[in-house]
Chains A and B, each alone.
Chain A
Amino acid sequence: EPEVTQTPSHQVTQMGQEVILRCVPISNHLYFYWYRQILGQKVEFLVSFYNNEISEKSEIFDDQFSVERPDGSNFTLKIRSTKLEDSAMYFCASSITGTGDYGYTFGSGTRLTVV
C-alpha cells in the first residue's frame, strides 16, 4: 500500500533556528497538507496546497511558516525562526481529491523539539 513518507522522524533544534520538514506524498495524489499535534492536544490543520500554491491556511500558519513543492515529489514545511511553542508532532498528508472522498493518507510524522 502506498505511503506518505516523512523525514526526519525526530528533529531537535535551538530556538531561533530554521528547520525544514520533508514529506514525499503519494505519487498520484494532488492535494497536500500539513497538520501538527502539540503533546496532549488534538491534531490541528496548518495548511493545504494544491496546484503549486497554498489553497488554505490556518491562523497558526503565520509568516514564520512556508511550504514548497520544489521538485514535483517532495513537499516541505519550513519554519524560519523556531519558537519553543513550535515543539510538536508535524504530520504531512495527501489526498487524491480535495474533498477527501477517499480519505487523507498521513505520514508517520516528524517530532520537532525546540530547545
Chain B
Amino acid sequence: AQRVTQPEKLLSVFKGAPVELKCNYSYSGSPELFWYVQYSRQRLQLLLRHISRESIKGFTADLNKGETSFHLKKPFAQEEDSAMYYCALSYSGGSNYKLTFGKGTLLTVNP
C-alpha cells in the first residue's frame, strides 16, 4: 500500500540556517511526488512537484528512488517560510489518481 511518512512533526530553525524537511514514501509503482505548503489559515498551495525539477522560493527537492525519499531543502531559511509542509504522493488505486499525504511538518523559522 502507498504511504507517505514525514517523521518530524515540528521543526524549528533560525533565520539564515539551512533547513531540510524529510519525506519518505512507500509505493510499488512509479511515484509522482509533491510538496504542498499551508501558511497560517490559508489554502494548501503546491510548492514543488518532482517531475518539474524546479526551485520555488529557494526550495528544492530531489527524488531518491533508492532511499524512497523526497526531502525538501532550502539553504537559507527565511521567517516567511514558517508554515505547515505536506509531502504527498499521487498514485492510482483504481480508475483514477489521487493524493495521499504525510502528516505534515510544522516549520518555524525564528528571527
Cβ contact of B32, chosen from A101, A105, A108, cutoff 8 A: A101
In the complex, whether B53 has a CB less than 8 A from a CB of chain A is no
Interface status of A35 (Cβ within 8 A of chain B) = yes
Cβ-defined contact, A104 with B86, below 8 A:
no
Given the interface pairs A42-B101, A50-B96, A98-B97, the reply to whether A106 lies near B43 with Cβ below 8 Å is yes
Q: Say whether A108 contacts B42, CB under 8 Å.
A: yes
User: Closest approach, in angstroms, between the C-beta of B14 and any C-beta of chain A?
Assistant: 27
Sorting the interface of chain B by its residue count into under 10, 10 to 19, 20 to 34 or 35 or more gives 20 to 34
Q: Report the count of interface residues on A (CB-CB < 8 A).
A: 27
Question: B45 at interface (Cβ–Cβ under 8 A)?
Answer: yes
Contact assessment for B32 and A107 in the assembled complex, using a CB-CB cutoff below 8 Å: no
Taken together as a complex, chains A and B put the C-alpha atoms of A31 and B96 apart, in Å, by 9
Interface of B is mostly: strand
**In the complex the two chains form, what is the Cα distance from A56 to B97 in whole Å?**
9
Given A56-B94, A56-B96, 6 other A-B residues pairs in contact with their CB atoms under 8 A = A41-B103, A42-B102, A43-B104, A56-B93, A100-B90, A105-B46
Q: Decide if B28 is an interface residue (CB 8 Å cutoff).
A: no
Asked if A45 contacts B44 (CB within 8 A), the reply is: no
Chain A residues with CB under 8 A of B32: 99-101
A48 within 8 Å of B (CB atoms): yes
Taking a contact as CB atoms under 8 Å apart, the answer to whether A103 and B96 are in contact is no
Q: Which residue of B34, B44, B104 contacts A91 across the interface (Cβ within 8 Å)? A: B44
